[in-house]
Amino acid sequence: MTKGQTSPARQEHGRELVSPGKGNGLADVFRSRFLLKLLVRKELRVRYRGSVLGLLWTYVKPGVQFVAFYIALGVFLGLEQSASNRGGLPNYAVYLFSGIILVNFFTESLSNSTRSIVHNSGLINKIYLPRELFPAASVWVSGVHFLPQIFVLVVACLFSGWRPGPLEALSAVAGFLIIALLAVGLGLFFGAVNVYFRDAENVVDLFLMVATWVSPVLYSWRMVQDKAGEIGFAIYQLNPITVAVECFHHAFWLPTTAGAEGSPPNLLTVWVPVALIVSLVILFLGQWTFRRLEGRFAQEL
């Protein structure tokens, strides 16, 4: 064998062999789209096995959450604008629901992807397939649940006089993309760490408990600006979830109001690019951590 040639033992059908347990990261998820679809179908079947309502639970759960928050905050605490209360938000129901469904998408995605590797230990111990498929499938399943909720939101907005333009559509896509990238990145990170330290599940649960409150889902961004000042508000805007929620408010709530306070300054020109960069950095770190730890998944499980 001459210098520069690859040993036949290192080749198989013209392809270079790689070390076991090592893949190409999220690129393998794209190449294994068929397996991804099978995992998504399996997750949906298992989740609603024996359920009477099935996918209707995707309407019931956020509906109950919306009613509870709307009564407690919109009515009792006066966040709904009315003839006797000019300090509230106009069309608070749309404002509230557009934020709730996006945060619910994030919380479900991260919670399920954190547990995805441990819950699929049987498959991982029996066969080799790209392990990133499991967190990715969890996010996709959450996306399936998100679709009927966004449909309900669009119908409610249309009845409220919603007439979106290209900028509003772009804002909605940007908000969803920010949350999806963030959920995949954090899901890869915590999903891998959870194999070694099951405390990761509790850390994620604690984080998700406050996810609704650290973004302007239930209140206005103006309240944060007034209390925290410009510097504090700039730090607050570094949270990608905050920017994503504001994008959804800009896309769905703002066109249904007249004379509302509007979106935060430089939302689409500055804060959306910043949030996308932060989410991409977290995605890169999550993928890097996942690849560093995945080699011993089978042994640890």
Per-residue pLDDT of the chain (301 residues; tens, 9 = 90+): 454 454 544 444 555 555 555 566 777 777 877 888 888 888 777 777 766 666 677 777 777 777 777 777 667 766 666 545 555 678 888 888 889 899 999 999 999 999 988 888 887 777 777 888 889 989 998 998 898 888 888 888 888 888 888 898 999 999 999 999 999 999 999 999 999 988 888 999 998 988 878 899 888 888 898 888 889 999 999 999 999 999 999 999 988 887 566 788 889 899 999 999 999 999 999 999 998 888 888 777 6
pLDDT of residue 23: 62
pLDDT of residue 240: 95
- 11-12 and 15-16 strand pairing: antiparallel
Residue (of 256, 222, 299) closest to 92 by Cα position: 256
For residue 287, the SS3 value is helix
pLDDT of residue 301: 65
Question: d(Cα 39, Cα 154) in Å, to the nearest integer?
Answer: 29
pLDDT of residue 159: 82
Residue (of 133, 128, 134) closest to 114 by Cα position: 134
Tokens 């029996």, residue located? 126
pLDDT of residue 83: 42
Sequence spans of domains, the chain: 22-300
